[in-house]
Amino acid sequence: VTRLPLHPAAPLPSGPDRFVSPGGRPGRPSVWVVGGTGYSGLEAVRLLRTHPAFRLARIFASPGSPERDLAEIDPGLAPGQARALPWSPALLEEGAERPDAALLALPDEASADLAPRLLAHGIRVVDLSSVFRPKSAGAASPPTPGNDQDPVYGLTEWEAARIASARLVANPGCYATACLLALLPLERAGLLDPGEAVVVDGKSGITGAGRRLEADYLFAEANENCRPYSPLAHRHLPEIRAVLGLAAERPLLFVPHVLPVSRGLMTTVYVRLARGVASGEIAAAFDHAYAAAPAVRLLGSGRWPQLRGVTGTGRCDIGWTADPVQRAAVVVSALDNLLKGAAGQAVQNLNLLFGRPREEGIPL
Amino acid sequence: VTRLPLHPAAPLPSGPDRFVSPGGRPGRPSVWVVGGTGYSGLEAVRLLRTHPAFRLARIFASPGSPERDLAEIDPGLAPGQARALPWSPALLEEGAERPDAALLALPDEASADLAPRLLAHGIRVVDLSSVFRPKSAGAASPPTPGNDQDPVYGLTEWEAARIASARLVANPGCYATACLLALLPLERAGLLDPGEAVVVDGKSGITGAGRRLEADYLFAEANENCRPYSPLAHRHLPEIRAVLGLAAERPLLFVPHVLPVSRGLMTTVYVRLARGVASGEIAAAFDHAYAAAPAVRLLGSGRWPQLRGVTGTGRCDIGWTADPVQRAAVVVSALDNLLKGAAGQAVQNLNLLFGRPREEGIPL
Amino acid sequence: VTRLPLHPAAPLPSGPDRFVSPGGRPGRPSVWVVGGTGYSGLEAVRLLRTHPAFRLARIFASPGSPERDLAEIDPGLAPGQARALPWSPALLEEGAERPDAALLALPDEASADLAPRLLAHGIRVVDLSSVFRPKSAGAASPPTPGNDQDPVYGLTEWEAARIASARLVANPGCYATACLLALLPLERAGLLDPGEAVVVDGKSGITGAGRRLEADYLFAEANENCRPYSPLAHRHLPEIRAVLGLAAERPLLFVPHVLPVSRGLMTTVYVRLARGVASGEIAAAFDHAYAAAPAVRLLGSGRWPQLRGVTGTGRCDIGWTADPVQRAAVVVSALDNLLKGAAGQAVQNLNLLFGRPREEGIPL
Amino acid sequence: VTRLPLHPAAPLPSGPDRFVSPGGRPGRPSVWVVGGTGYSGLEAVRLLRTHPAFRLARIFASPGSPERDLAEIDPGLAPGQARALPWSPALLEEGAERPDAALLALPDEASADLAPRLLAHGIRVVDLSSVFRPKSAGAASPPTPGNDQDPVYGLTEWEAARIASARLVANPGCYATACLLALLPLERAGLLDPGEAVVVDGKSGITGAGRRLEADYLFAEANENCRPYSPLAHRHLPEIRAVLGLAAERPLLFVPHVLPVSRGLMTTVYVRLARGVASGEIAAAFDHAYAAAPAVRLLGSGRWPQLRGVTGTGRCDIGWTADPVQRAAVVVSALDNLLKGAAGQAVQNLNLLFGRPREEGIPL
């Protein structure tokens, strides 16, 4: 079980570009995006095409998929403007062409196969699949590609120091990001009653499910609708549980729901407070955790996030309220599932890997 | 504090029309709708215009509002097809014209004023405001218009017998309906751990807020959005608490959210189970409560309601799952906030008041 | 080229049920729906399940498709409540089971194959594909299954008399219905300038494209979007041209667009008027055409249809305005593409075939 | 009647910042936004806050409106981050504070009053109201504030040279922009049949109507809906007619429709071509007009714009097809009504006024 540090506020990397590429030539680090035809991969392409510090060297389709013009997927692109090339393992042998880093937006199995090969060639990896993320005690451990190549969990605001020196970053799931950013400050500050259940009600736009050609994601099925999925059994649960460090006997009840919106994700977190916790302690815990984190915006007590406040941004908004009579608190966090919940956080982590200002190139 | 009976399955009124109107003439009972220009009132008008057993005698605007052609509000109506007349207290003096029942879709104050006047003239009242609903211990008691005219709580599936002989029915709130239909079977069957919090996460379409000319309800503000409102402090909370009969020290945490859909409401209820509760007991409790209730559809364990399954119907769909390891259960209920959550349940109650089949005239 | 009669107002069939089924037994005609898993077929199932005059004997999947529980498609149905059976040609040999009529909601090729087989067994057919509809001069003629079995075009309000004695009804396309109901009264009354182009701008909800698993119909692609498709080349164009009886040299420009709504279709028709046409002549032409047509609602000059006024109904709403200075008129028609544009009109035609009141069983 | 030049492709201003502010001090020109609480004004604020070449000095509410925190309107802003101050005429007397330019997003009357006062103090004005735009022959002329202060029509791609030396720019309406960018190349190249009607079918998201607290703009009214408004009588018609330079007897038929989307606008333009026009001439006319215009993207023949391709950008996308048999063409243009249709084009014009690269600070 991974334990995150209590104090996230380690000094953030910044200052002048200290990157020198492996071959010794200074310059902008080059990045590949592999899996650039899914919603998250495409969002990463959008961010990296205009990023001032990186050079988006190549975009690849998922291994096994054919070449594709991204204009077919993104009507904002002109034909020929950006292509996802077919992936070939031989590419790694072309030494001169190898990138400094790769961002993988792939299914679990494809990431499990590809990441170690990239790492073996000295390419740093930010992986958006769930395969390298922490699992709770009961679940299988993530594969460990090598000694100094253990995956670091890429929850940017909590792991900045470790990410900066990582080779492989396991980018968190979108629900895990929203939920952990809301819960970690309270849990690490000891404000929660350790004997009580934690309840997380999730709501996500449809891109959270990826670009799947399934009937449930057709407009006429999803429009004017809302439905729960995988109640109490969502695949992000072990990740949340592990990172939160919950005792095995502590209930964590999580039900995500699909909303009829394209982008945006919200978690409404219900907790019981430890005896004697004053309302101000909650605010203090959030302030302590995120005072130096531009990508987390604390709205404060009694002010509430809404999806419209975060879609299109790489930010997570957090609001809360406490009820001393019931010894309870509600925390609501909202983010754009494709940005802070996926590609935005991936670029934060790339920035950390190469010593760039953490939020460079990310709309806030 | 109102206590509902444990066993709701009292024989339902049915059989031939036993109604004889007060003046002695047999025939279809006549009904007024007062407040027919709001979303709920308009929905009641729609149901009563085609109801086989009632005569929609007149439609009135809210007291103080001018006459209005309903075609201005409902583009499905032709001009002149249905008008909301201006309300005048003098109307009650016109004896021959008085209806057998009135359905009030009014603000609390207007209902508090009007209902006793109607009752005094022998007119039975189904009131959609919150003013006559049960309140929890701490809150002010509802006004009691008179001896045998105490309001009966109109949660149809649980109070059928008392509603049938009532003079004044306090129709439940939309959130209260969804939440109570999900929770009452478990609570009354003693399946919940009495020492644990009950968490209710609510999601509702925009008509749940009424036809308010406020910026938050403009298309461009509500579209592609989701936001919580009144976390831990919603006005339906005392009603839910009172009807559920929760002990004062038992936490009930409720946060409703506005969804970008026109109609439909869902509650996701998180509970801890008493020790030793078997999964089958949950199914049995639901079956026992709703076996004879056509307007509640039990989807069963592991099958989940969605808004599209209930919008346009007077039905509430319920699904659930239990997690024995965490001693927890999740129940999800969904309904159309304007039908089962308002006008549909009001018509169920009108049917009961006049001895009609309970779901007559209601789309299921 | 089919020519519709100038005066549609032939007396409509009505009165008592004059149906005697082929085998001589009186009773409710039995109907099969073949292709009940698409949006149109499912809508036909909905209408026929509650139709007072027909018995929905069986529902079939498209030939070649497996059996399917309709509850998987329509969350308003309970599991087991309605199943689409696998189609087998052998079914037609089971004499006792053969229905009085069949409603086909199939791809063109499947209809072209199946309809003649059904007709050969004396089963009347209402076909929703385009295969039996009129084509303009240049296009291939529709197949003619047999002598007295020539297809009759099922534009209910204009072909009632011929439909009543038909064996095979070619149900119009959704765009053709909206466009022809708007244009035929003006064209047949000679109010249009025969030397000028007719422009039809169409807008349709997403179910107009059927339940296709294509990326364009995914929620995240269609939401917050609008796009034209097949400009000047839509597959309904020959049908519209042929029925309207436009001279070959007369331009008919038609561009449909996909709207981000589930249901509903609108055509905005721009025409130049013949010299000397007075505004009142337009109103008179519409009144003449539709005075006895409950499923067409004339809103009148300067009053405009909107989708919300027609979705969920079997009605077409029409409004118009004329500009004498520019010698021009605009007519806007709106309907529910799955009802008046498909299954609703099919049931109107079934009613005509069996001597029922034309709008029986259709929500207006 | 304003006549635009046939050849828009005058060399665009560019190069180093040649701006010296009136007081003689070099630096970034300062800009006021007046009317910053409407959708267009707020969008201008968003663009100018991050514009590299301008300093957004102050934001004002509409004259007569109270001070307002923009965070109340835009949930992406933090409280206190941006305020719309109350307007006071006395502000113009504070010489030192006067800006170099003002962008007015106001009702017509307020602009008619305020613009001359600003001009009198040497402040350049980009006005988003319709009051200074060209009118067709029949309509009242726009007010002319002074000799060298005649308003210049701000259709950027066609009036770049005149805008660059203007004092007062009348920013085009959103529909006028989309429609003129589609039609001007064909009309000015003489490709249209001068004896035939021009038909423009418009579709716009709801922000096109401004932030009006009217029932039609409530979510539950606009959602799942589409309706025409002001058919043949829209207030942008005289502007389009005048700029296009249509002969009085040439019909121009325009019907806009409201779509259930927040942002985005599309015009579908139907024209008849002059005899002998080859398909390639259309492409050539578009290429000639927009070869040097980065904010107009030509998709080419048979490729079609969609709203999703332009929302969030300051670009207009154009596609077309011609039908030689019918001697007809369809042109479809799409833009974001708040960007290229309002604030984006206003900033293009500000750039021109101060010698900046024309698309600086605008998302493309």
Tens of pLDDT, residue by residue over C228-268, are 999 998 888 989 999 999 998 999 999 999 999 999 999 99
Task: State pLDDT tens for residues D26-67.
Answer: 679 999 999 989 999 999 999 999 999 999 999 999 999 999
Do D328 and C225 lie within an 8 Å CB cutoff?
no
Q: What is the arithmetic mean of pLDDT over D229-241? A: 90
Do A75 and D308 lie within an 8 Å CB cutoff?
yes
Are the C-beta atoms of D283 and A50 separated by less than 8 Å? no
Are the C-beta atoms of D310 and D263 separated by less than 8 Å? no
For chain B, list residues with pLDDT below 70: 1-26, 95-96, 136-149
**For all residues of chain A together, what is the average pLDDT?**
89
Q: What does DSSP assign to residue C273?
A: B
For residue A209, the chain C residue with the least C-alpha distance is C220
Q: What is the 3-state secondary structure (H, E, C) of chain D?
A: CCCCCCCCCCCCCCCCCCCECCCCCECCCEEEEECCCCHHHHHHHHHHHCCCCCEEEEEECCCCCCCEEHHHCCCCCCCCCCEEECCCHHHHHCHHHCCCEEEECCCHHHHHHHHHHHHHCCCEEEECCCCCCCCCCCCCCCCCCCHHHCCEECCHHHHHHHHHCCCEEECCCHHHHHHHHHHHHHHHCCCECCCCCEEEEEEECHHHHCCCCCHHHEHHHHCCCCEECCCCCCCCHHHHHHHHCCCCCCCEEEEEEECCCCCCEEEEEEEEECCCCCHHHHHHHHHHHHCCCCCEEEEEECCCCCHHHCCCCCCEEEEEEEECCCCEEEEEEEECCCHHHHHHHHHHHHHHHCCCCCCCCCCC
In Å, how far is D189's CA from the nearest CA of chain B? 39
Are the C-beta atoms of D283 and D300 separated by less than 8 Å? yes
D234 close to C (CB below 8 A):
no
Q: What is the arithmetic mean of pLDDT over C151-163? A: 96
For residue C220, the chain A residue with the least C-alpha distance is A262
Nearest to D222 among B39, B205, B219 (CB): B219
Q: How far, in Å, are A236, A244, A254, C347 from residue A239 at the CA level? A: 5, 8, 12, 54
A234 close to B (CB below 8 A):
no
For residue A306, the chain D residue with the least C-alpha distance is D75
Task: State pLDDT tens for residues B101-123.
Answer: 999 999 999 999 999 999 999 99
Question: The tokens of C78 are what?
Answer: 């309970």
Amino acid, res. D116 = P
Q: What does DSSP assign to residue A340?
A: I
Q: For chain D, list the contacting chains (3+ Cβ pairs, <8 Å).
A: A, B, C
Rounded to whole angstroms, the Cα distance separating B324 from D5 reads 78
Residue C233 CB contacts under 8 Å (≥ 6 apart), including other chains: none
Q: pLDDT-based confidence at D313, cuts 50/70/90? A: very high
pLDDT value for D136: 63
Q: What is the arithmetic mean of pLDDT over D83-91? A: 90
Q: How far, in Å, are A210, D95, D102, D117, D145 from residue D62 at the CA level? A: 43, 21, 13, 15, 21
Residues D21, D24, D27: CA angle, nearest 5 degrees? 50
Give the up-direction half-sphere exposure of residue B294: CA atoms within 13 A in the CB hemisphere.
Answer: 13
D224 close to A (CB below 8 A):
yes
C147 close to A (CB below 8 A):
no
Q: For strands D227-228 and A252-258, give the pairing.
A: unpaired
Q: Does residue C332 surpass a pLDDT of 60? A: yes
Rounded to whole angstroms, the Cα distance separating B309 from B306 reads 5
pLDDT value for D235: 84
D306 close to A (CB below 8 A):
yes
Q: For strands B316-323 and B328-335, give the pairing.
A: antiparallel
pLDDT value for A3: 40
Q: pLDDT-based confidence at A279, cuts 50/70/90? A: confident
D76 close to B (CB below 8 A):
no
pLDDT value for C25: 52
Q: Does residue D128 surpass a pLDDT of 90? A: yes
Do C76 and B308 lie within an 8 Å CB cutoff?
yes
Interface probe for A, chosen from B207, B265, B306 (most Cβ of A below 10 Å), is B306
Handedness of CA C176, C177, C183, C184 (dihedral sign): positive
**How far is it between the farthest Cα atoms of chain D?**
66
In Å, how far is D314's CA from the nearest CA of chain A? 11
For residue B223, the chain C residue with the least C-alpha distance is C224
Rounded to whole angstroms, the Cα distance separating A176 from A178 reads 6
Nearest to B76 among C75, C223, C309 (CB): C309
Q: pLDDT-based confidence at D138, cuts 50/70/90? A: low
**For all residues of chain C together, what is the average pLDDT?**
89
In Å, how far is B90's CA from the nearest CA of chain A? 44
Q: What is the arithmetic mean of pLDDT over C32-43? A: 94
Do D220 and B214 lie within an 8 Å CB cutoff?
no
A37 vs C contacts (CB less than 8 Å): none
pLDDT value for B257: 97
C309 close to B (CB below 8 A):
yes
For the range A187-191, what are the long-range contacts, defined as Cβ-Cβ under 8 Å and sequence gap of 24 or more?
A187/A244, A187/A245, A188/A4, A188/A6, A188/A285, A188/A289, A189/A6, A189/A281, A189/A284, A189/A285, A189/A288, A190/A274, A191/A273, A191/A274, A191/A277, A191/A281, A191/A282, A191/A285
Handedness of CA B115, B118, B120, B122 (dihedral sign): negative
Q: pLDDT-based confidence at A6, cuts 50/70/90? A: very low
Q: pLDDT-based confidence at D144, cuts 50/70/90? A: low
CA D87 to chain centre: 24
Question: The tokens of B20 are what?
Answer: 């004889």
Does B174 qualify as catalytic in the annotation? yes
Q: Does residue A266 surpass a pLDDT of 50? A: yes
pLDDT value for C279: 86
Are the C-beta atoms of A163 and A223 separated by less than 8 Å? no
Q: pLDDT-based confidence at D211, cuts 50/70/90? A: confident
pLDDT value for D3: 41
Q: Minimal CA–CA distance to D330: which of C194, C266, C252?
A: C252
For residue B249, the chain A residue with the least C-alpha distance is A326
In Å, how far is A302's CA from the nearest CA of chain D? 13
Interface probe for B, chosen from D212, D219, D262 (most Cβ of B below 10 Å), is D219
Percent of chain C predicted with pLDDT > 70: 88
- Bridge partner list, A330: A270, A321
Do C312 and B312 lie within an 8 Å CB cutoff?
yes
ipTM of the complex: 0.91
Q: Minimal CA–CA distance to D101: which of D273, D354, D323, D282?
A: D354
Residue C165, judged by CB atoms within 10 A of its CB (0-12, 13-18, 19+), counts as: exposed
Give start and end residues of each alpha helix (H) in A3-107. 39-49
Give the up-direction half-sphere exposure of residue D236: CA atoms within 13 A in the CB hemisphere.
Answer: 26
Q: What is the arithmetic mean of pLDDT over D117-132? A: 95
Do D332 and C228 lie within an 8 Å CB cutoff?
yes
Give the number of B-D residue pairs with CB atoms closer than 8 Å: 62
Q: What is the arithmetic mean of pLDDT over A87-100? A: 84
Question: The tokens of D17 are what?
Answer: 């910042």
For residue B97, how many other CB atoms are within 10 A of its CB?
A: 12
Residue A298 CB contacts under 8 Å (≥ 6 apart), including other chains: A286, A287, A290, A318, A319
Q: Minimal CA–CA distance to D224: which of C363, C229, C259?
A: C259
Look-up: residue for tokens 């835009």? D74
In Å, how far is C35's CA from the nearest CA of chain A? 17
Question: The tokens of A153 are what?
Answer: 């969990």
A297 close to D (CB below 8 A):
yes
Rounded to whole angstroms, the Cα distance separating C59 from C363 reads 22
Q: Does residue C11 surpass a pLDDT of 80? A: no
SS3 A256: strand
Task: Give the residue numbers of D annotated as catalytic, written as ranges.
Answer: 174
Q: Does residue D352 surpass a pLDDT of 60? A: yes
In Å, how far is C334's CA from the nearest CA of chain B? 12
